[in-house]
Amino acid sequence: MRIAVVGSGYVGLVAGACFADLGHEVILVDNDHEKLRALSNGEVPIHEKFLPELLSRHRGHRLTFSDDLKEAVRLSSAIFVAVGTPPTEKGDADLSYVESVAREISGGIENYKVVIEKSTVPVYTSEWVRKIILRSGTDAESFDVASNPEFLREGTAVTDFLFPDRILIGCDSQRSADLLREIYAPLTDGSYYKRADAIPQPDRAAIPPALIITSTKSAELIKHASNAFLAMKISFINAVASVCESVGADVNQVVRGIGADSRIGRRFLNPGIGYGGSCFPKDVMAFRAVAHEYGYEFRLLDEVMRINEEQRRRFLRKIHDALWTLRGKRLAVLGLAFKGGTDDIRESPAIFLVQELLQEGSKITAYDPAAMDRARDVLNASVTFASSPYEAAKGADALLILTEWEEFSNLDLPRLRQELKYPIVIDGRNLYDPEAMAAQGFTYYSVGRPACLPDGVPTGVLKNGKKA
């Protein structure tokens, strides 16, 4: 099938490459000519596992790039809209890019098309897209609008697309549902997974994935509700971690206990420095704004956001507890991306903490396997960037772990201790066992667990940010 994907950002680029890998002919449309030139030349603008392989495999064959949206619409049966929906000052989604694309799509509809929302949008967006296209003089029988939300995690987006937990299709007509069924048939009939060149199967993959068909409104709500619920799980366990610190319990043990309950599950119960990225902060605010617009005050989401902001502040206080004053202190920072496996620093709690530490007069040397180029644009010359964790640690008063990159959980601890001026590690991702770190000679602080001195004796229970 010939497919147009509008928008070559994170979602659009991954979707376009994966649709091509399923066997479809894909036109990726964008009005950013510099980005199109780079993609046409084989440059990969984001750090995402398996994406370079797919772009190299299909670029110029099943995957082409264009700035002509009307022509791409004319040539395609399905048009996936994957443009940005950034938050406004009020917290709701800015749909001006979606509206602009809808107006332009109308000029290319000559026979039946399905226009599919791939961007994360609030409920009723599909109805507005339909109205915009109709107002441009398009025949009502010549198109349908559907919703097909993405559930991609940065760092594993390609495998999430090709090995999804579920494929969600929101349609209000049988004709549009049948077309989307056909698009995803290589996944739902299992034929893709039999190919020798298929992307490697991840652990716990459900093959074939479930296909869930709903109304467009339900699909739009499912996307927002899913992200809000996952953000809630993160904030919940961070709140539990704060209680653990107050009473001297170990949050990792608590997580193991509650996560064993099949009704709750272990995933996303990861205490740390809070969620970030391009989805959770934006989508929680947008879902709250939608609820408010239609008469429901979703106060639970207010608390989810408050806990997330407070978690960053609590970690900053933990750094003060470990080091007292911060002015003039040399700090090594491991991790700048909002999570491991990506170079995305949008709403990154690591960036927030680095900026706060700089304001307090600290001198920062940072290392991240993928995000340093993007971080340079935000942090300017205020931070020194290292080529390895050990270079970052050299002569530092303490080491901060802010992103859960796998390589940070396998550091050469004797070498690390030798490089640090003082063997102090403040771990915002709980990558290490406190007693093991103490046995290696470190003073070790983490989230939701008692701190440990080098002799293995806990430093005491924290009450109101102070040692008992």
Which of these, 304, 305, 287, lies nearest to 296 by C-alpha position? 287
Asked if residue 39 lies in contact with residue 45, where contact means CB atoms within 8 angstroms, the answer is yes
Question: Token pair for residue 145?
Answer: 């609008």
- How does DSSP classify residue 59? B
Cα-based torsion angle of the residue sequence 286, 288, 294, 297 in order, rounded to the nearest 10 degrees: -170
Compute the C-alpha angle 224/230/235, nearest 5°.
120
Q: How far is CA 316 from CA 257, 459, 467, in A?
A: 28, 18, 15
Helix axes 299-323 and 216-247, enclosed angle (nearest 10): 40
Provide the 3-class DSSP secondary structure of residue 389: helix
Positive/negative CA dihedral, 29, 147, 1, 143: negative
Q: Please give the distance of CA 419 from its chain centroid, rounded to a whole number.
A: 33
Q: Where are the beta strands (DSSP E) in 190-265?
A: 210-214
Q: Which of 405, 427, 284, 411 is nearest to 353 (CA)?
A: 427
Tell me how far apart the alpha carbons of residues 115 and 134 are, in angstroms, rounded to a whole number: 13
Which one from 18, 171, 244, 279 is the annotated catalytic residue? 279
How, if at all, do strands 383-385 and 210-214 pair? unpaired
Say which amino acid occupies 243.
V
Nearest to 308, CA basis, from 341, 283, 333, 334: 283
The whole-angstrom separation of Cα 409 and Cα 386 is: 18
18 counts as catalytic: no
C-alpha distances in angstroms, 162 versus 51, 191, 301, 430? 12, 12, 31, 30
Half-sphere exposure for 456 (CA within 13 Å, toward CB):
4
Q: By the 8 A CB rule, do 141 and 232 touch?
A: no
For residue 363, the surrounding DSSP H or E stretch is: strand 363-367
CA–CA dist 375, 352 (Å, integer): 11
Q: Which residues are catalytic?
A: 279
